[in-house]
Amino acid sequence: MPTRLQTTVLRISPDVRSLWLASRLGDWIGRALCVLLPLFAYLCWQDVDYLRLSPESLAEGAWHSLWSAHFLHFTWEHFLWDAVMFTILSLVLWREEGWRLWGWLMLSAPVISILLFAYDPHLAEYRGLSALDSLLYARVCWGLYMDSTKWARYLFGLLPLLGFLGKVLFELLTGTTLFVSDLGPGVVPLPMAHLLGFLGGSLWALCSYRGARKFQA
């Protein structure tokens, strides 16, 4: 005859297993989105006018384009640089942030879109993951700065952050991009998107580490 404790454990075990399986499934879905969503968008969304972000689309009430435009690109090279960086950085952060990663991405995307059109009222269309890449990059580097030992925080945290700001300054002063050489005919770089993404990632890091300190206290 099983004891009362054994009976209780047997009843709880299926529920625990279900929760474990659900968490594992959610983990794999989140990781898969980091890899597959940029690729899916490039293969299926590029020519869908309804997903493009422009003054005309906003005037027509296509508010979803504040999100979707970040996954559209002008050229293959534009997509390749953005998608590779997005996949690597998001997978690195997924281990620490989990679904909070996608929460910050979905929150930041429309804010960046709105600020870009406020910054440049003559902007005809915005596309690209580079702003969100910059967001992820800043979050990763600030995390390394906060968590690493004294010498490593400067080597892997602070120096890359300063290097990124130097890159943005170079792009703002020259009107060119440092990496992508082919954005397509008539398309001009928009370094402000990178700066806004960097600021968003810095805010993300600040919120994450302040929250962690409060929890520890």
Domain CATH number, residue 183: 1.20.1540.10
Helices marked H in 45-129:
55-59, 65-68, 76-97, 100-119
Backbone dihedral region for residue 76 (phi beyond 0: left; psi -120 to 50: alpha; all else: beta): alpha
Q: How many CB atoms lie within 10 A of CB 148?
A: 15
pLDDT value for 178:
77
Burial category of 128 from C-beta neighbours within 10 Å (exposed 0-12, middle 13-18, buried 19 and up): buried
pLDDT value for 146:
87
- The one-character DSSP state at 139 is H
Cα angle for residues 92, 83, 196 (degrees, 5° grid):
80
| Distance of alpha carbon 110 from alpha carbon 11, whole angstroms | 46
Helix axes 191-216, 159-174, angle to 10 degrees: 160
Q: Which two tokens stand for residue 20?
A: 């474990």
Question: Which residue has 């659900």 as its token pair?
Answer: 22
Count structural domains, the chain.
Answer: 1
pLDDT value for 55:
93
Domain holding 160, by residue range, is: 4-216
pLDDT value for 22:
60
Task: Say which amino acid occupies 97.
Answer: E
| Distance of alpha carbon 172 from alpha carbon 169, whole angstroms | 5
pLDDT value for 20:
46
pLDDT value for 182:
72
pLDDT value for 184:
77
pLDDT value for 69:
97
Give CA 72 to chain center in angstroms. 14
For the entire predicted model, the pTM comes to 0.85
Q: Can you list the residues of the chain whose pLDDT is less than 70?
A: 1-22, 148, 210-217
Bridge partners for 126 per DSSP: 53
